Amino acid sequence: METPLGGAEFAPAQTYLNTSTSGLLPRRTVDAVTALAEQNAAGRADGPGSFDVVDVARQRYARLVGVAADRVALGGSVAVHVALIAASLPPGAEVLFVEGDFSSLIMPFTVRGDLKTRFVPLEELAGAVRPGTALVAFSAVQSADGRVADIAAVREAAAAHGARTLLDASQSAGWLPLEAGAYDYTVAGGYKFLLCPRGASFLTVSEEAQESLVPAHASWVAGEDPWTSTYGPVDRLAPTARRYDEPPSFLAYYGAERSLSVLEETGIEAIHAHATALAARFRAGLVDLGHEPVAAGPGGSAVVAVPGLGGRQPELARAGVLVSARAGNLRVSFHLYNAVSDVDRALDVLSSS
């Protein structure tokens, strides 16, 4: 029988199958955020927060996605990271997207008004890359229905045509193994499968891509030596991806450092096996009930979507099963703190009418 991972870190009061919306905070994360807030409230010297803790969070994330820590920039939202990349493109550059992908990945490009944008179905993405495509921007896992992209095929097609790649890992980082260094850019919101508080997000930038990415929102924290960069123009920016840092929300990153430690200790491979096994059980149960979930895509998905059942989300909530409704789909997502009993509880409620 599948049992939860993570030990005593999690104690959901209900059947929680909604990580695609927001992950549960581990106990150690809550303790770290509370402790810093209390120190701040008491006016203690360490109350404002330490950049050393923020850098540990950077290092933990880097290890989870397989890159050096100097390739990771920190911020507060995916949209801000994406806007930085969008601003770096020349007028007329072509950006290729997946139809129905998440708006935070799309809008920073479309609002410019001087870029060429194309949208294709997910399964056609690799084949749609062509000479003249400047950037392929896509999610590893689709928010609306949990489909997993053939990321290797997209990466190979982009390389063949000289296009850069921007991978949004917001619905995948934390359960799907990822080698971020294989892409020019990756972005990930921390508050979903990474289990971080809102206000922590991550950008990776390859050394080659850094050459043309302007640090448009650089501040003193982007300086090679931040503490000598606090007044006037910054003389020397950090030579690493830290030049793209936003000033950190210390409460969020104190929590992120602790949350990422849980994922490191558990292991992404173990979480992947656990979550996709639960999702496969749920898919099989849905078929037995006469429903047809959206096909997961390569390697399976921790997220299951059922077209036409989004209207049953309130009923499930009343029964103590928290899921989400997206684009008409009932969306159910599994993570390390879920167990077989959660799958069976959701199926029981769905079979009751």
Indicate the CATH number of 30-265 among 3.40.50.1000, 3.40.50.300, 3.40.640.10, 3.50.50.100.
3.40.640.10
Confidence category of residue 1, pLDDT binned at 50, 70, 90: very low
The pLDDT assigned to 2 comes to 66
Q: What is the 3-state secondary structure (H, E, C) of the chain?
A: CCCCCCHHHCCCCCEECCCCCCCCCCHHHHHHHHHHHHHHHCCCCCCCCCHHHHHHHHHHHHHHHCCCHHHEEEECCHHHHHHHHHHCCCCCCEEEEECCCCHHHHHHHHCCCCCEEEEECHHHHHHHCCCCEEEEEEECECCCCCCECCHHHHHHHHHHHCCEEEEECCCCCCCCCCCHHHCCEEEEECCCCCCCCCCCEEEEECHHHHCCCCCCCCCHHHECCHHHCCCCCCCCECCCHHHHCCCCCHHHHHHHHHHHHHHHHHCHHHHHHHHHHHHHHHHHHHHHCCCCCCCCCCCCCCEEEEECCHHHHHHHHHCCEECEEECCEEEEECCCCCCHHHHHHHHHHHCCC
> At residue 130, what are phi and psi to the nearest 5 degrees?
-140, 165
Q: What is the pLDDT of residues 222-243, one digit of tens each?
A: 999 999 999 999 999 999 999 9
The pLDDT assigned to 47 comes to 84
Q: What is the pLDDT of residues 247-303, one digit of tens each?
A: 999 999 999 999 999 999 999 999 999 999 999 999 999 999 999 999 998 889 999
Confidence category of residue 4, pLDDT binned at 50, 70, 90: confident
Q: What is the pLDDT of residues 15-42, one digit of tens each?
A: 999 999 999 999 999 999 999 999 999 9
Is the pTM higher than 0.85? The answer reads yes
For residue 116, give the amino acid letter.
Answer: K
User: Is the pLDDT at 3 greater than 80, yes or no?
Assistant: no
Query: What superfamily in CATH does domain 7-17+267-350 come from?
Result: Aspartate Aminotransferase, domain 1 (3.90.1150.10)
Confidence category of residue 197, pLDDT binned at 50, 70, 90: very high
DSSP category for residue 115? S
Spell out the domain ranges in the chain. Answer: 7-17+267-350, 30-265
Residues facing residue 94 across a β-bridge? 116, 133
Share of the chain above pLDDT 70, in %: 99
Pairwise CA distance, residues 48 & 154, whole Å: 43
Phi-psi region of 181 (alpha: psi -120 to 50; beta: other; left: phi over 0): alpha
